[in-house]
Amino acid sequence: MPEGHTIHAAALDQMRDLGGEALQISSPQGRAADVAEHLDGRVLRRIDAYGKHLLYRFAPAGQARVRRADLLTLHIHLGLFGKFFRHASPAAPPTGQKRLRMVGERFTVDVSGVTVCDLLPPPVEEKLLARLGPDPLRSDADPQAFVAALARRRISIAEALMDQQVIAGVGNVYRAEALHAERLEPHVPSNELGDERALALWNRVAEQLRQGLKDRTIVTLPDAPRTSTARRKIPRREAKCVYKRDRCYTCGGPVFQEPLAGRTLWWCPHDQVR
């Protein structure tokens, strides 16, 4: 169940658990057998996260100096159903449909339900990155690119937030929660928002994503406890202001829901006015 924070968390966690080691890689389910065969025994050098995409860089085993051309990149996109499972090594044989298993000395990571699990040749990677907007969780992200993208389009801000070419990493929860936190009416045309409010929206999304990365879950209540440990104890359903709620956490009024950009949008008509 991944938005950008989950993806960046996975990159950090898996780098800590598997990074620097030669990994035993297989496809228990068989659907990524070819990928596994190419990567088996290689050394995981780094994991890059861009929006909801993960790029794993693998070097040949036993090679001190690695040329760029010798690296292979594994591209994983969790989609809606994708999940990671972390076990201590040695792990029990996988159950269910596990697309990939990566075995390190200390930890084993299983991958299931993913939309993408492929080797990514450099030219294809270029194309992929070219159609991703700035990712607020990356230090090289350019907020002005987001502001400019909003000004260039004439779609609702709610649609714009879901467009990975406008901003990478936002999903259906953060869309609803960021708009609510900024008191923005979701149907406002993106090019009518103005630079100042656009930048404020960027900063809000960035702050919420960073907090989500820290907490490893989404908690957007304005009065939530400060420590991540305490925040993690809040039941998921109760940790948001409008997403999937009947009543708005802030004002108690009814939350509206409607399909927008193929997903259900939740918003509070009392708090979010034009």
Binding status of residue 245 toward DNA by CB under 7 A: no
Binding status of residue 93 toward DNA by CB under 7 A: no
Binding status of residue 97 toward DNA by CB under 7 A: yes
Structure tokens at 230: 């305490």
Sign of CA dihedral 11, 4, 232, 199: positive
Secondary structure tally for the chain: helices H, strands E? 8, 10
Each residue of 83-115: b (16+ CB within 10 Å) or e? ebeeeeeeeeebeeebbbbbbbeebbbbbbebe
Q: Which residue number, 51 or 104, has a Cβ lying nearer to DNA?
A: 51
256 half-sphere exposure, CB direction, 13 A CA radius: 14
- Work out how close the CB of 148 gets to DNA at its nearest, in angstroms, rounded to a whole number: 21
Polymer length of the chain:
274
- Tokens 């779609």 — which residue? 155
Full DSSP string of 50-92: ETTEEEEEEE-TT-SS--GGG-EEEEEE-TTT-EEEEEESSPP
User: Quick check: is 263 catalytic?
Assistant: yes
Residue 192: Cβ within 10 Å count: 12
Of residues 114 through 173, those in contact with DNA by CB under 7 A are: 114-115, 162, 164, 171-173
User: Quick check: is 131 catalytic?
Assistant: no
Catalytic-labelled residue, pool 154, 225, 263, 269:
263
- Work out how close the CB of 231 gets to DNA at its nearest, in angstroms, rounded to a whole number: 13
Q: For DNA, how many residues bind (rule: CB under 7 A)?
A: 36
User: Quick check: is 177 catalytic?
Assistant: no
| Contact pick of 16, 106, 183, 263 for DNA (by CB under 7 A) | 263
Q: Which residue number, 63 or 165, has a Cβ lying nearer to DNA?
A: 165
Q: Which residue number, 31 or 46, has a Cβ lying nearer to DNA?
A: 31
Of residues 8 through 67, those in contact with DNA by CB under 7 A are: 29, 31, 51-52
Of residues 106 through 125, those in contact with DNA by CB under 7 A are: 112-115
User: Quick check: is 52 catalytic?
Assistant: yes
Give the residue numbers annotated as catalytic, written as ranges.
2-3, 52, 263
